[in-house]
């Protein structure tokens, strides 16, 4: 059973960003599935690294899109991304050292951050871009 299922309620109205968000959902679900199956720490570290790498890529593309379209909240948006990436980096380090086990609590944190961010923060730039003809 997936931790997170894509639904139109998560759409921000910008197809490229919606597509990238679905990939983030898939990566988080893959990590959840591996944890549920009892995969070893090295496998979980690799999956968390893939999620982190894709989040970096997605955030960079999202920030480029909203910056190039003069979205007024770009600095705040960037800071929220930076804070999450910093937390993920800390999780990666702790998991790699064996100080942290990948738990449902951690996965729920990532799920909740992602869904809240998409529905409350990203949706605002979606409206901004849609008003400028970007879908």
User: Is there a domain that residue 9 lies in?
Assistant: no
Structural domain range at position 67: 14-131
What DSSP state is assigned to residue 64? Answer: H
42-66: b or e for each residue (b if 16 or more CB lie within 10 Å)? eebbebbeebbebbeebbeebbebb
Please tell me the total number of residues recorded for the chain in this structure.
135
User: Is there a domain that residue 5 lies in?
Assistant: no
What was the pLDDT predicted at 134? 96
Give pLDDT tens digits for 7-35: 999 999 999 999 999 999 999 999 999 98
Is it the case that residue 59 has pLDDT exceeding 90? yes
What was the pLDDT predicted at 84? 96
The CATH number of whichever domain residue 122 belongs to comes to: 1.20.120.50
Give the integer Cα–Cα distance in Å for 1 and 17.
Answer: 25
Give the integer Cα–Cα distance in Å for 83 and 23.
Answer: 20
Is it the case that residue 126 has pLDDT exceeding 80? yes
User: Is there a domain that residue 1 lies in?
Assistant: no
Could you give the number of structural domains in the chain? 1
User: Is there a domain that residue 6 lies in?
Assistant: no
User: Is there a domain that residue 105 lies in?
Assistant: yes
User: Is there a domain that residue 75 lies in?
Assistant: yes
User: Is there a domain that residue 4 lies in?
Assistant: no
Give pLDDT tens digits for 60-98: 999 999 999 999 999 999 999 999 999 999 888 888 888
Give the integer Cα–Cα distance in Å for 119 and 21.
Answer: 11
Residues 6+ apart with CB under 8 A from 63: 74, 77, 78, 81
User: Is there a domain that residue 3 lies in?
Assistant: no
């Amino acid at each position: 059973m997936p931790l997170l299922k894509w639904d139109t309620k998560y759409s921000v109205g910008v197809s490229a960003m919606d597509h990238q968000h679905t990939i983030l959902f898939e990566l988080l679900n893959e990590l959840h599935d591996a944890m549920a199956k009892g995969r070893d720490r090295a496998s979980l570290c690799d999956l968390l690294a893939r999620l982190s790498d894709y989040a970096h890529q997605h955030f960079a593309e999202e920030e480029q899109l909203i910056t190039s379209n003069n979205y007024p909240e770009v600095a705040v948006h960037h800071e929220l991304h930076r804070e999450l990436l910093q937390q993920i980096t800390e999780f990666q380090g702790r998991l790699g050292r064996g100080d942290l086990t990948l738990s449902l609590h951690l996965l729920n944190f990532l799920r909740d951050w992602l869904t809240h961010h998409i529905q409350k923060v990203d949706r605002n730039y979606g409206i901004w871009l849609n008003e400028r003809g970007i879908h």
